[in-house]
Structure 1
Amino acid sequence: MADAAAGDPGDGDFRLLMDYAHGFMVSQVLFTASDLGLFEALAPGPLETAAVARALGSSPRGTRLLLDACAGLGLVRAEPGRGGGGPAFTLTRLSRLFLLVGSPLSQRSMLRYLAGTTARCWGELGGAVREGRSQYARAVGVATREPFVAIYRSSAERLLFMRALQDTWSVYGARVLTAFDLSGFRVICDVGGGSGALAAACARLHPTSSVSVFDTHDVIATARAHFRRPRGDPPIRFLGGDFFRSPLPRADLYILARVLHDWTDADAARLLGRIGRAGGRGSALLLVEAVLTPGGRGPARALLLSLTMLLQTRGRERTEAEFRAMAAAAGFTRFQRRPTGGDLEVMLARK
């Protein structure tokens, strides 16, 4: 009897298996609807299928199937149409906040990056597990041991990656920067700060502090060319160099936001050691990362991020104990950790 019950299609284990097995289809619905401009088409108000198809330049049949799938997933909402010939579709809170171009919280660039480079790399997961290394050579045709040579393999890809991270900070920036009281730090440097989105948010919160971004010369040039800041925002400085080789600026607080997970333990320790020496006595370190539970067996989303790091970089996600030990070895011995309510957590380590 137990075997018969376990074979029931309503069995919870079977349904969970099917959810996992079909997860890639959910991603493709999301990516395709976003890429086609479906959410922008629905922004003015409820539209029936024919009007959406005209706006997208797509087939009525395919458009209706996509709209129905989006409604089933909660990305759009179906309501009675005016003519009685079919439903009209409108945006949900989720799509209006996070999927609509122009929303301050839009994640469209992050979706484009995940749908492109990340999805292609994930298609080579078997090779990564067998070989224990990045799959950029198979996925995108770039053979290199340096992850950011592949990540920044073209100016367009570098810009998309930077915009994707900017999307992340549109959601997490304020939470990250208010997890601890940072008002006492007069000189703040965001190491590997990319477009400057997090640094700009920090400067707005602490306008009397001097805030800078340290990143590669190519990243700094892209940031200056493509990421315009609102007039009247407090200034931030951009400093170019290689954080493994170039002199690091002296600061009271160094921010490393989603940086250490890109690198091996040895490289991460080397970077932290250089920061510890550059900052001098009394400096501090703000780490922003996904944090694994003790023993490294969860949470599930952090474990999936670790596989992404295997596929695309040389690093992995880590436990609090590992972050604490690395920080202490670099001289940052007083350690605190706070959640943000999402996948990322904030750790402040002081000398």
Structure 2
Amino acid sequence: MKVLTKKKAETRQAPNPAKIMETGMAFWASKVLLTAVKLELFTYLSKGKVPAHKIQKKLHLHPRAVYDFLDALVSLGFLEREGLKENALYSNTADTDAFLDKHKRSYIGGMLEMANNRLYPFWVHLEQALKTGDPQNETAQGEKPFFETLYEDEDRLREFVSAMGGFQMGNFMAFCNRFDFSNYNTFCDIGGAGGFLSAQVAIQHPHMKCITFDLPKVARIAKENMERIDCLPRVEVRAGDFFKDDFPKADIIAMGNILHDWGIADKKLLIRKAYDALPEGGAFVAIENVIDNQRRKNSFGLLMSLNMLIETADGADYTEEDFTRWTREAGFRKTTLIPLTGPSSAAIAYK
């Protein structure tokens, strides 16, 4: 009996190449999904079931490609299908219908569009980034940094702000549901982009007065958004530079995917400025893909940190222990972590 048990254990522990191959070739699946988003397939399918020949015509697909493309999306879990090939009807899954239909406010495809159009080519140069520590984005070709170029193009800036808001909306809603706002009255989102976090706080917690704070060109977009969703005047839009200007005073200071853009010295500077803007008992909130302390579980957070290597001069993601150490240095008395959606969390420091 002991020998049989040992053999079973050996069988369970036998080397298996499946994970290696799945990860090594993961760019296949990634590019299929990103291409479907770029072609607006999920938006087209938002009205219901559609036969393959209509999809082929709408997306200008070659007859040779259409079934493999659509059925790959079925097998990956991004499309539903009834029938087979010429008799097949395709439709969105619940997830793709909710998050990849451009007509819905829950759309998160903007981030995937940017991944396809910008990040995918840059990640080809990961090896160079690992060896040099230098960004591999537009600056590697002698062009201006992405954000500098972005602010010069109104249309691209609007698209980017919308994409970031959509990408984070699930986290914003989860934070508003899971954080206790009962002891606070004012909220300020530093680097608030389109103002969507402040809007969610104001909508879900009517007693809160909110501020969204960003550069003047972004603030104009945020004000338009707040007018459109009828959140003025409970969400005030302020323009400023979070490195050059003092933060607005508030009971809660938040930053969504801001700290990871910068090196440690700048992270500490921003944390210190948040501390100075808060009253005693106030809270500083960083919504990020916080890496687990043992650096084993949050693969997305670690990969996002590598993306910061590709995109920025000094940026990197961080662990809960890192956040605690930096905030304690600034004078905060305690920290906690609230899981949000997927790999994201709200790291919170209390003054």
| TM-score (ref. length: structure 1) | 0.88
Match of 2:38 among 35, 39, 52: 35
Residues 1:217 and 2:220 are matched in the alignment:
no
Helix, strand or coil at the partner of 1:237: strand
Relative to 1, partners in 2 of residues 1:337 and 1:226: Cα closer, same or farther, differing over 3 Å? closer
Distance in structure 1 (CA, Å) of the matches to 2:211 and 2:246: 14
- Mean Cα deviation higher: 301-310 or 43-52: 43-52
What is the correspondence of 1:53-202 to structure 2 with a 5 Å cutoff? 53-80=56-83, 85-137=86-138, 141-144=142-145, 148-149=147-148, 152=151, 154-202=153-201
Instruction: String of CA shifts for 1:231-256, please: whole Å, max 9, x gaps.
Output: 36763111111111112211111011
Instruction: Please tell me the residue identity of whatever aligns with 1:22.
Output: M
Q: Pick from 8, 13, 35: which aligns with 2:16?
A: 13
Give the RMSD, CA atoms, in angstroms: 2.3
Change (3 A) 1:21 1:85: same
**Percent sequence identity over aligned pairs:** 28
CA positional deviation for 1:340: 1.8
Structure 1 counterpart of 2:3? none
The residue number in structure 1 matching 2:350 is 350
How many angstroms does 1:204 deviate by? 0.9
Partner of 1:318: 318
**How far has the Cα of 1:228 moved from its partner?**
5.2
The whole-number CA distance in structure 1 between the counterparts of 2:89 and 2:263 is 51
Return the offset for 1:194.
Answer: 0.5
Residue 282 of structure 1 and its aligned partner are, at CA, apart by 3.5
- Does structure 2 retain, via aligned residues, the 8 Å contact 1:132–1:310? yes
Partners of 2:142 and 2:307 in 1: CA distance: 17
| 2:272 alignment partner in structure 1 | 273
**Which string of whole-angstrom CA distances, capped at 9 and with x for unpartnered residues, describes residues 168-222 of structure 1?**
2321112112322023221211011100011100111222222001111121123
In structure 2, what is the equivalent of residue 252 of structure 1? 251
AA of the residue aligned to 2:104? S
Structure 1 runs not aligned, ≥5 long: 1-10
Aligned letter for 1:58? L
Distance in 2 (CA, whole Å) between partners of 1:325 and 1:45 is 51
Counterpart AA for 2:55: V
Equivalent position of 1:8 in the other structure: none
1:21 Cα deviation after fit: 2.0
For the 8 Å contact 2:52–2:86, the answer to whether it is kept is no
CA distance in 1, matches of 2:272, 2:153: 31
Q: 2: distance between equivalents of 1:289 and 1:88?
A: 39
Using the TM superposition, give the Cα deviation of residue 98 of structure 1 relative to its aligned residue in structure 2, in angstroms. 1.7
Cα distance in 1 for residues equivalent to 2:295 and 2:149: 28
Alignment CA distance shift 1:240-1:264 (3 Å): same
Given that residues 253 and 285 in structure 2 are in contact (C-alpha distance below 8 angstroms), is that contact kept between their aligned partners in structure 1? yes
Distance 2:47 2:222 in 1: 32
> What is the CA–CA distance in structure 2 between the aligned matches of 1:52 and 1:234, rounded to whole Å?
45
Q: Whole-Å Cα distance in 2 between the matches of residues 27 and 227 of structure 1?
A: 34
1:26 aligns with 2:26: no
Distance 1:182 1:256 in 2: 16
Q: Provide the rounded CA distance (Å) in 2 between the counterparts of 1:153 and 1:317.
A: 27
